[in-house]
Amino acid sequence: MAQESPKNSAAEIPVTSNGEVDDSREHGFNRDLKHSLPSGLGLSETQITSHGFDNTKEGVIEAGAFQGSPAPPLPSVMSPSRVAASRLAQQGSDLIVPAGGQRTQTKSGPVILADEIKNPAMEKLELVRKWSLNTYKCTRQIISERLGRGSRTVDLELEAQIDILRDNKKKYENILKLAQTLSTQLFQMVHTQRQLGDAFADLSLKSLELHEEFGYNADTQKLLAKNGETLLGAINFFIASVNTLVNKTIEDTLMTVKQYESARIEYDAYRTDLEELNLGPRDANTLPKIEQSQHLFQAHKEKYDKMRNDVSVKLKFLEENKVKVLHNQLVLFHNAIAAYFAGNQKQLEQTLKQFHIKLKTPGVDAPSWLEEQ
Any residues with CB less than 8 A from the CB of 333 and at least 6 apart, and which? 234, 235, 238
Task: Please tell me whether residue 105 adopts helix, strand or coil conformation.
Answer: strand
User: Higher-confidence residue: 192 or 38?
Assistant: 192
- Which one-letter amino acid corresponds to residue 293? S
Supply the DSSP string of 187-255, one letter for each residue. HHHHHHHHHHHHHHHHHHHH-STTHHHHHHHHHHHHHHHHHHHHHHHHHHHHHHHHHHIIIIIIHHHHH
47 part of a folded domain: no
Report yes or no on 139 lying in a domain: no
Kindly tell me if the per-residue pLDDT of 145 is higher than 60.
yes
Report the pLDDT value the prediction gives residue 334, as an integer from 0 to 100.
92
Q: Is residue 239 part of a domain?
A: yes
**Do 212 and 334 meet the contact criterion of CB atoms below 8 Å apart?**
no
166-187 pLDDT, tens digit each: 999 999 999 999 999 999 999 9
Assess contact for 74 and 61: CB atoms under 8 A: yes
**Across 281-296, average pLDDT:** 84
239 vs 342, residue with greater confidence: 239
Q: Is 102 inside a domain boundary?
A: no
pLDDT on residue 6: 43
Per-residue pLDDT, averaged over 278-291, amounts to 82
Asked whether 271 and 303 are in contact (CB, 8 A), the reply is: no
Note the pLDDT of residue 31: 55
Domains of the chain: total: 1
- CATH at 287: 1.20.1270.60
Sorted by sequence, the CB contacts under 8 Å of residue 343 that are 6+ apart come out as 227
What is the average pLDDT across 183-195? 93
Q: How many H-runs (helices) and E-runs (strands) does the chain carry?
A: 9, 4
More confident position, 103 or 121: 121
Residue 253 falls within a domain, yes or no?
yes
271 domain residue, yes or no:
yes
In a domain, 157, yes or no: no
Q: How many other C-beta atoms can be found within 10 angstroms of the C-beta atom of residue 261?
A: 14
Q: Does a structural domain hold residue 273?
A: yes
pLDDT at 273 over 90: no
For position 191, what pLDDT does the model report?
A: 93
Q: What is the pLDDT of residue 108?
A: 47
Is 218:200 a contact under the CB 8 Å cutoff?
yes
Task: Decide which of 282 and 156 is more confident.
Answer: 156
pLDDT tens, position by position, 119-143: 888 888 888 888 888 888 888 888 8
DSSP label at residue 344 = -
pTM above 0.75, yes or no: no
Note down the domain range covering 262: 174-354
pLDDT of residue 119: 82
